Amino acid sequence: MEKVYIFDTTLRDGEQSPGASMSIEQKFELAVQLSRLGVDIIEAGFPVSSPQQFEACKRIAQNVKGSTIAALARAVEKDLDSAHQAIQAAEHPRIHTFIATSPIHMKHKLNKEPDQVVEMAVAAIKYARNLVAEVEFSPEDATRSEIPFLCRIIEKVIDAGATIINIPDTVGYAIPEEFGKFIRAIREGVPNMDKAVISVHCHNDLGLAVANTLAAIKEGARQVEVTLNGIGERAGNAALEEFVMSLYVRKDIFPFTTNIKTTQIYSSSRLLSNIIGFPIPRNKPIIGENAFAHESGIHQDGMLKKRETYEIMTPESVGRDTSKIVLGRHSGMHGFRKRVAELGFSLAPDEIKKAYEEFLVIADRKKEVYDEDLYVIIGEQMGNVTESYHLDYFSIQSGNRSVPTATVRIQFGETMSEEAATGDGPVDAIFKAIDRVTGIKTKLVEYVVQAVTPGKNAMGEVTITLSINDKKFVGCGASTDILEASAKAYISAINRYKTFVSVGNQ
């Protein structure tokens, strides 16, 4: 099978996504992971744009091995020199230079005539080739450029030394069938196109970035420019994970291979999400929480009989845990009974029926019913009632010049217990004070805060995942005071642990 080269621009175009800027250390950490993922080319940044961009590119070039390291530059000597200086230490350095070629860009942005644009592009390629052996050229806003002019400038820059020609759908304007024909027209209209690799860089303004990229591959493109999680300018870029897994799943249509180690996809996506603080949408293909989750009773029944009935790839193939049967209002008795058995319980038919009826009541009130909820339901059926901790009072002292201190008073049965603790912040102090009251050793795995109502007085919801004795327990809490919501969520998770223990799971 032919190889498609993966050019990852998460650190350059991806970082241009509003709010997604990264520090030098973060960009380096992600670059190391991209190399581990098997990315062929890492576009480290736009060195001339800022000293931090320059230093990040330089550090990546000096230390990240195995991948080509590219830097972006406009078609001017200042940019080209900066790009060269930043990445010259790389094992395989590449300069990626660009200039706009659409009539609207040439007139209103560059204020240049077409002949002047060709001259600038050719001069930039020649200059860059004296600096590095590998030069990539992009005609910006290519899909709104005139084909004859586009073919003309591409022919000239290839003659000048460009070995990769990238066709960007800069504003996400193209439609897949149209874009495929566009790539074919370039391949057939440029006499020396065989001397360079065709690349594509698709934006997602119409939600078609991956579809356009796949259409281009069918017409001869052999490099794709993508980003993790599809981040980037405006609506983002073609998502690396979606493109790669499309090739993986549909080999019958796309007989191509890549160097990507698919089992590294999920960890790479999660790392990016943690670095930039962008949550991964639950319904995001490949990496979203729901991508391998099944709630419908019909789907669950099919999955339990044969996985392939509703899954076209395995979660393990992208580095995730096994498929997840999600219990909710759409779940049937089959999925419920199987999950109860997996938890180690054996209930009589009438007990299962009563437990299922109670499950449906809870499922109507909640989006998802967790294992911990099942323990409570089953515990009731087995006559097991568990006392819970309740937050009675809390107080916080905190500031930028004082040590955060929390005092909590918690009720357990008829007993009231009060403790105080300090922490790295007010939330940490609250959690440590609660630990002192309960005496339960916990490890915080995940802490998520989100607003559930609009406005300054928004109701905040906190979801916490605790690890206790190597098992995970989820707790939720809501309040207009996010510290109170955090305390409630923490106690909720501990109460679920106590229920778990009470039904015989030590």
What is the second-level CATH architecture of the domain 395-502?
A: 2-Layer Sandwich (3.30)
DSSP for 367-390 reads S-B-HHHHHHHHHHHTT-----EE
Residue-level pLDDT at 385:
45
Residue-level pLDDT at 456:
56
All residues at 6 or more sequence positions from 341 whose CB lies less than 8 Å from its CB, including other chains: none
278 by DSSP, 3-state: which?
coil
Q: For residues 102 and 96, what is the distance between their CA atoms, to the nearest angstrom?
A: 19
Strand-pair partners of 418: 409
Residue pair 327/295 in contact (Cβ under 8 Å)? The answer is yes
| CATH placement of domain 2-276 | 3.20.20.70
Taking only the tens of pLDDT, the chain with its 506 residues reads 899 999 999 999 999 888 888 999 999 999 999 999 999 999 999 999 999 999 999 999 999 999 999 999 999 999 999 999 999 999 999 999 999 999 999 999 999 999 999 999 999 999 999 999 999 999 999 999 999 999 999 999 999 999 999 999 999 999 999 999 999 999 999 999 999 999 999 999 999 999 999 999 999 999 999 999 999 999 999 999 999 999 999 999 999 999 999 999 988 998 999 888 888 888 899 988 777 775 566 565 666 576 677 677 888 888 877 655 567 666 777 778 777 776 666 677 887 888 888 778 777 766 667 665 676 666 655 544 456 799 999 999 998 888 999 999 999 988 999 999 999 999 999 999 999 999 999 999 989 887 755 555 556 778 888 999 888 887 878 788 899 989 998 998 898 788 777 765 54
Phi–psi pair at 123, nearest 5 degrees: -60, -40
Cα–Cα nearest to 440, from 407, 478, 467, 413: 467
Which is it for strands 293-294 and 2-3: parallel, antiparallel or unpaired?
unpaired
The residue assigned the tokens 């009251």 is 437
Question: Can you give the pTM of this predicted structure?
Answer: 0.69
- Domain positions in the chain are 2-276, 293-381, 395-502
Residue pair 197/165 in contact (Cβ under 8 Å)? The answer is yes
The residue assigned the tokens 């217990």 is 417
Residue pair 331/299 in contact (Cβ under 8 Å)? The answer is no
